[in-house]
Structure 1
């Protein structure tokens, strides 16, 4: 199965004749004069009809913008903690349907602008988020289609590079301001054991998560990362995250690990705009985000100086004992799976998420690691490292036996029963999968010819290719 925009759940067009829109605003104004429930019923009926009528892209967009204003008006009735009726939940769902249909029209057009596409993705996700929130507020299980569509909207945003495009949307309860943040706001709400929240706490928690949710990251799946912490999201499933006991059997293309390190650090920082109620609620639900087993490895405080060799070329030089420049850091805590460091904020440009580093400490051998998350505050730049188990060795690569050399790092890990697993780390974009290369270990005269296999782990900076060496 592949994820495709056409899998978005939208109803069939029942009326091929375009709906008249000239009196739409007048009809919406007339509805407001009715009682709240009657008005909501009239607006929902109008929206239901429009979503099943043929309309041009511009007509649908203008109609949905008018109905978004109506949504704000009716949502104000529940700002003081009132429980919305199912009629309002259906209104949220129909608003999501409208924006999903608009999205399909945009995608079928000619090269939509990224801000326009990001806005439509965001609006569709926002009304799915509202539907999710209101189901939880009524202590009802959300429909499976809600998560299928939410995952798909995230997937489209990922493919269209729209996840971090800011969107100004004055809604309440407060949503995050990007598609990434809004989607992760939904995931965190679902992970917070929402059916055990007291009445009125779901909207409060949703608002409290808004400024924090964007700090999380959904990282690409890595089969060898079996000791990592964090919820697992399968974008092809009809649930928020895989249950803790659920086996991971999905296509790795659609698997993501929800990295919460930066978010968990930010929870302890001063937040002047956060109320005491929000702060208490966040502290109460945070332990649910990692599942019942908080960490696979026990973390231990280990404060001490260390340094980082940053980037593959510098690591290659360090392994050759050429002494490249180091980045000074302080270790705050460690576990067998990784560590948390603190370094100067000025180092941020050298340390994007996904960077390959070599950790040098006074006690122990150099450790190859990937930067999993980062978060900057008044203390400096916090870094979360994932250790890459195995022996790192410098290698040279050539496109033919006598051409220019390129540095690489070979990560070799022993396997039970004898033998080794090898992973070749290369800078992104330097070589293509299937390209024939010549590999030479340092201090070895012979070169081995091999076709470069597809990467089994790729970040914004480096890629790892599995090798079979004699």
Structure 2
């Protein structure tokens, strides 16, 4: 199954002539003069009709901006411990429908600008988030379609490069300022056991998550990854897979929800955070990892170590050419990875998905990926995921006498007498199906291979599974 925008749940167009929109703002202003319930009913009726009418992109956008202003007005009634009414929840749903339909119109147009597309994706996600929040405030299970559409909006944003485009949106309770942050704010709220929160705490938690949610990351799926974070299936109508669930679809739509940077940031000084927000965050974080126990026991292991950063530098280190190293302090470690402290000025080169070689003084260096990072006043906090196997330097050519490219071959014993191999190359340097000449260190012969489809891609490196004689 392929995710695409046409799967967004929007109602059919029932009216081809919406009539004049010139008096829309006047009708909305008149509604405000009434008591809240009949006013909401009138606003909802107007929006319901517009969402099922044919309109130009500009007409729909202007109308939805007017309804968003009305939403801000009526939202004030339900702040604090006042639970929302069913009518207000329906208003959230209809606003989400309106922005989803606007998004479809934008995508069907000619090359929309990234800020415009990011704004529309964000607004659709925001009103889905509001619908989710209001359902939890009423202790009601949200519709499965809410999660289907939320995952799809994230997927579109990921492929359109809109996840981290900042959006200024003055709403209460405060949403995160990017599509990535807002989507992850929803996931964290859903993972916080919301039906066990006291009245008023759901909105409090949602606002407390706003400055923190963007620190988490959805990472590409790798079956060898033994991390403890939740698994998100972008095709499933639920926030994440339960511990006992296994995905039946393509791994292209699976993501691992990495919370390491967020969990570190929870302990940072936060002068704008209220005591009530701090208390509810401390109480709910135990639910975020889904599992009650870690797969690997983590042990305090404070010791000095160093990192060789990037594939080219690792290649040189494996050839004993002594490239530049980065000093670090190991905080704790487990068989699956480690947590390090580095100087803050190393943040530029130590990005998420960067390949590193960990040197601890032992004879065998450890290949690892930067899984998460968090920069605060103390230092740069890094979470490493160990890559099991022996790393070896290799050279690659597109022809026997062509330019050489460095690579790293990661080899792990397989059951029996065989080996599993993973070939690490810079991202985008080669493509699947390309024929390459591979040469191991101290070997004179070159093996002719065809690159298979990659089984792990990050922003820095790509891994290809290899079969070598």
Q: For the superposition of Structure 1 and Structure 2, which TM-score range results when normalised by the shorter chain?
A: over 0.9
Equivalent residue number for residue 229 of structure 2: 230
SS in 2 for 1:350: coil
CA distance in 2, matches of 1:292, 1:12: 42
CA distance in 2, matches of 1:293, 1:248: 21
Question: Counterparts of 1:88-127 in structure 2 under 5 Å?
Answer: 88-127=88-127
Alpha-carbon displacement from aligned partner over 1:287-342 (angstroms, at most 9, x marks no partner):
10001334211111100100000011111111111111100000001000000000
SS in 2 for 1:211: coil
Equivalent residue number for residue 57 of structure 1: 57
SS in 2 for 1:340: strand
Equivalent residue number for residue 299 of structure 2: 300
Contact (CA 8 Å) 2:228, 2:291: kept in 1 or not?
Answer: no
Equivalent residue number for residue 338 of structure 1: 337
Equivalent residue number for residue 357 of structure 2: 358
Match status 1:217 vs 2:222 = no
CA distance in 2, matches of 1:199, 1:193: 13
How far is the alpha carbon of 1:19 from its aligned partner?
A: 3.3
Equivalent residue number for residue 376 of structure 1: 375
Contact (CA 8 Å) 2:13, 2:52: kept in 1 or not?
Answer: yes
Question: Counterparts of 1:16-27 in structure 2 under 5 Å?
Answer: 16-27=16-27
Contact (CA 8 Å) 1:185, 1:206: kept in 2 or not?
Answer: yes
Equivalent residue number for residue 196 of structure 1: 196
Runs of 5+ consecutive residues of structure 2 not aligned to the other structure = none
Question: Counterparts of 1:347-426 in structure 2 under 5 Å?
Answer: 347-363=346-362, 365-426=364-425
How far is the alpha carbon of 1:452 from its aligned partner?
A: 1.3
Alpha-carbon displacement from aligned partner over 1:11-67 (angstroms, at most 9, x marks no partner):
011111123211111111111111111111111111101111111111111110000
Match status 1:263 vs 2:262 = yes
Runs of 5+ consecutive residues of structure 1 not aligned to the other structure = none
Contact (CA 8 Å) 1:302, 1:333: kept in 2 or not?
Answer: yes
Equivalent residue number for residue 67 of structure 2: 67
SS in 1 for 2:232: strand
Equivalent residue number for residue 2 of structure 1: 2
Equivalent residue number for residue 277 of structure 2: 278
CA distance in 1, matches of 2:253, 2:363: 37
Equivalent residue number for residue 136 of structure 1: 136
CA distance in 2, matches of 1:21, 1:364: 74
Deviant stretches of 4+, over 6 Å: none
CA distance in 2, matches of 1:247, 1:297: 20
CA distance in 2, matches of 1:459, 1:128: 29
CA distance in 1, matches of 2:257, 2:163: 15
CA distance in 1, matches of 2:363, 2:13: 66
* TM-score, normalisation: structure 1: 0.99
Contact (CA 8 Å) 1:371, 1:383: kept in 2 or not?
Answer: yes
SS in 2 for 1:6: helix
CA distance in 2, matches of 1:294, 1:211: 27
Match status 1:79 vs 2:89 = no
CA distance in 2, matches of 1:328, 1:303: 13
Figure out how many residues of one structure are paired with residues of the other and give that number.
469
* TM-score, normalisation: structure 2: 0.99
CA distance in 2, matches of 1:432, 1:55: 43
Match status 1:153 vs 2:146 = no
CA distance in 2, matches of 1:418, 1:284: 49
Question: Counterparts of 1:303-322 in structure 2 under 5 Å?
Answer: 303-322=302-321
| Range 375-384 or range 393-402, more displaced | 393-402
Contact (CA 8 Å) 1:438, 1:449: kept in 2 or not?
Answer: yes
Equivalent residue number for residue 31 of structure 1: 31
Contact (CA 8 Å) 1:19, 1:53: kept in 2 or not?
Answer: no
